[in-house]
C-alpha cells in the first residue's frame, strides 16, 4: 500500500483536512468579500455646534471624507480628532477630515455638503469559527497522519 492510499483511507486525516479546507474558505470569504458603502448629508447651518455624520457609519473602514463649506460671510471653526481650524468664510473651502467633524458656526449661515465613502466587510464574524476549525482540523490531520503511518 502506498503513502497516498494510506492517507486517503484514514478517516481521521480526511476529516481534519476537510476542516482545514473549510477554515481556509471561511477565512477567505471573511477577508476578501467587501461591500462599498457611502453616506452623504447637506444643508444650511446657522449659529451653534454641529456634529456631522452618522455614528453607526463610523464602524466601517472609511476610505474618503469630503466636507465642502460655502458661505458669503460666516465665522466658523471645524475640528476632528486633535485638528482645530477657524475660518472667516467669504467663499468656499473643501476639507478632507480624518475623523467625524464638528462644526461650530459663530456668525452667519453656512451651506455644507459632507460625503463619506467606506468599505464594509459583512462576513468578518466568520473568522472566529474559521480559527476554531483550523486548530481542530490541524489536530485531527496530525493524529490521522500519525495513525496512517503507524499502520
In three-state secondary structure terms, 132 is: helix
Provide the pairing of β-strand 83-89 with 74-80. antiparallel
The residue with greater pLDDT, 138 or 58, is 138
Q: What is the DSSP code string of 69-88?
A: EE-SSEEEEEEETTEEEEEE
pLDDT band at residue 9 under the 50/70/90 scheme = confident
How many separate helices (H) and strands (E) can be counted in the chain?
3, 8
Mean pLDDT of 102-115: 94
pLDDT score at 151: 66
* 38-90 pLDDT tens trace: 999 999 998 899 999 888 888 888 889 999 999 999 999 999 988 999 999 88
| Cell 480628532 found at | 81
pLDDT for residue 27 is more than 70:
yes
Q: Output the pTM of the full model.
A: 0.73
Cell of 13: 486525516
Pick the closest to residue 41 from 22, 55, 29 (CA basis). Answer: 55
Give, in order, the Cα–Cα distances in Å from 47 to each of 55, 60, 96, 136: 22, 31, 23, 60
* 28-46 pLDDT tens trace: 999 999 999 999 999 999 8
CB 49 within 8 Å of CB 104: yes
pLDDT band at residue 19 under the 50/70/90 scheme = very high
Amino acid at each position: 500500500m502506498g503513502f497516498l492510499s494510506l492517507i486517503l483511507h484514514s478517516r481521521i486525516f480526511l476529516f481534519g483536512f476537510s476542516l482545514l479546507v473549510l477554515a481556509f474558505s471561511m477565512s477567505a470569504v471573511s477577508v476578501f468579500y467587501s461591500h462599498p458603502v457611502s453616506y452623504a448629508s447637506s444643508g444650511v447651518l446657522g449659529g451653534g455646534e454641529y456634529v456631522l455624520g452618522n455614528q453607526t457609519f463610523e464602524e466601517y473602514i472609511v476610505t474618503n471624507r469630503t466636507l465642502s463649506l460655502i458661505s458669503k460671510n460666516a465665522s466658523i471653526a471645524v475640528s476632528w480628532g486633535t485638528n482645530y481650524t477657524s475660518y472667516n468664510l467669504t467663499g468656499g473651502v473643501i476639507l478632507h477630515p480624518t475623523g467625524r467633524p464638528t462644526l461650530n458656526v459663530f456668525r452667519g449661515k453656512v451651506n455644507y455638503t459632507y460625503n463619506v465613502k467606506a468599505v464594509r466587510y459583512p462576513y468578518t464574524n466568520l473568522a472566529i469559527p474559521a480559527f476554531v476549525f483550523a486548530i481542530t482540523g490541524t489536530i485531527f490531520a496530525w493524529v490521522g497522519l500519525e495513525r496512517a503511518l503507524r499502520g
